[in-house]
Homo-oligomer: A and B are copies of this chain.
């Protein structure tokens, strides 16, 4: 609170040597007083702490890092910060990191594997661990990185690297069942980026579920996972839209709805649309977007928790760079539960504009049950 200290006008320049001299001890003792509590006599430690306070001493994290090889920073690499999906993940990560005394180094890779590599190159030597969210690099590249520093991957499963992913399969299943209960029999999947692991996962899951529920499925894409991409998808779809669509993510779904609207196709009367992720905006648009809610915040938090565990595991000696044993199951991905949020973008299949085969309208009680809307992101 004081603006001027007695002797140290420049709080950034006080070193352990200054403190040591003033306290009448050796610099090493000062160092120990801070970094190794218990190693120093309580009385001495107290005195040192008082002098340090008085001088306005702060440990220099860089100097400390130089010998301990621990910086207290972790890198968070995301493809696009502006994507609200990652914004939530970042928040979750940041919260738990901060709580543990760690700082986050953020890198946006603009959806480019090249930039991602470059960013890692820069960040690697400075951080204790790395969080790769939605990486666009190859599995083998990721594995290489994880050999040098602790790594946790989000939204993607990579063999031999700890991962945290939402339950894509169950999410897609929920969406498909919901649509089936509304009477839809043909679902189109609007695909996201080819490089995305989640995209492949979701499409595969959809095909499996389709078999089981006797649904027909088609697929268009790939599209860039933003609103623009959705608009383009609508164009491509224009000729023969199926009565139900599941999009790779919410942005695509939103763009799709806009694009369809522009072509005179109404949602949900003519086409039902389901998204994925439940981003902030899903609740803002009209109609509200039915979507699979991924636990974004939790994902970031969980991944960070694991990473921190790995880091403190490595704490042993500064040898064996990648020798951390994974916290629990090695290489086993942690799967986080998802839930379907039903809003206005899905509805009973209309009889017209469908093949006259099964014109019966079924009112499914379970669909009605599931129709609990949620409140918008408030935080």
Which one, B87, B103, B378, contacts A107 given CB within 8 A?
A: B103
Which one, B11, B66, B379, contacts A62 given CB within 8 A?
A: B66
Q: Is A125 positioned at the interface, with any CB of B under 8 Å from its CB?
A: yes
Residue of B nearest to A126 (CB): B61
For A71, the chain B residues whose CB sits under 8 A away are: 62
Q: Is A45 positioned at the interface, with any CB of B under 8 Å from its CB?
A: no
Beta-carbon contact of B227 and A378 below 8 Å: yes
The 0/1 profile, CB within 8 Å of B marked 1, for residues 102-131 of chain A is 011111100000000001011111100000
Q: Is A286 positioned at the interface, with any CB of B under 8 Å from its CB?
A: yes
Instruction: Jot down 8 A-B pairs with beta carbons below 8 A, ordered by A.
Output: A62-B125, A62-B126, A63-B66, A84-B84, A84-B280, A90-B106, A103-B122, A258-B284
Beta-carbon contact of A12 and B378 below 8 Å: no
For A63, the chain B residues whose CB sits under 8 A away are: 66
Q: Is A91 positioned at the interface, with any CB of B under 8 Å from its CB?
A: yes
Which one, B91, B104, B228, contacts A378 given CB within 8 A?
A: B228
For A66, the chain B residues whose CB sits under 8 A away are: 60, 62-63, 66
Q: Is A226 positioned at the interface, with any CB of B under 8 Å from its CB?
A: yes
Which one, B62, B108, B124, B377, contacts A91 given CB within 8 A?
A: B108
The 0/1 profile, CB within 8 Å of B marked 1, for residues 228-264 of chain A is 1000000000000000000000000010001000000
Beta-carbon contact of A91 and B82 below 8 Å: yes
Q: How many residues of A contact B (CB 8 A)?
A: 55
Beta-carbon contact of A90 and B81 below 8 Å: yes
For A321, the chain B residues whose CB sits under 8 A away are: 10, 12-13
Beta-carbon contact of B379 and A144 below 8 Å: no
Beta-carbon contact of B94 and A81 below 8 Å: yes
Beta-carbon contact of A94 and B123 below 8 Å: no
Closest 6 CB pairs of A and B: A106-B106, A286-B286, A228-B378, A82-B87, A281-B281, A62-B65
CB distance from A145 to the nearest CB of B (A): 11
For A148, the chain B residues whose CB sits under 8 A away are: 11-12
Which one, B10, B82, B107, B119, contacts A377 given CB within 8 A?
A: B82
For A105, the chain B residues whose CB sits under 8 A away are: 73, 103-106
Q: Is A58 positioned at the interface, with any CB of B under 8 Å from its CB?
A: yes
Report the separation of the CA atoms of residues A144 and B321 in the bound assembly, to the nearest whole angstrom: 41
For A285, the chain B residues whose CB sits under 8 A away are: 284-286
A59-86 interface with B by 8 A CB criterion: 60-63, 65-66, 71, 73, 76, 80-82, 84
Given contacts A12-B148, A65-B62, contact A377 B284 (CB under 8 A): no
Q: Is A376 positioned at the interface, with any CB of B under 8 Å from its CB?
A: yes
CB distance from A102 to the nearest CB of B (A): 9
Q: Is A299 positioned at the interface, with any CB of B under 8 Å from its CB?
A: no
Q: Is A88 positioned at the interface, with any CB of B under 8 Å from its CB?
A: yes
Beta-carbon contact of A125 and B284 below 8 Å: no
For A13, the chain B residues whose CB sits under 8 A away are: 321
Which one, B61, B80, B94, B254, contacts A108 given CB within 8 A?
A: B94
CB distance from A144 to the nearest CB of B (A): 7
Q: Is A3 positioned at the interface, with any CB of B under 8 Å from its CB?
A: yes
Beta-carbon contact of B126 and A103 below 8 Å: yes
Report the separation of the CA atoms of residues A321 and B63 in the bound assembly, to the nearest whole angstrom: 19
Residue of B nearest to A287 (CB): B286
For A3, the chain B residues whose CB sits under 8 A away are: 144
Report the separation of the CA atoms of residues A76 and B103 in the bound assembly, to the nearest whole angstrom: 12
Beta-carbon contact of A82 and B227 below 8 Å: no
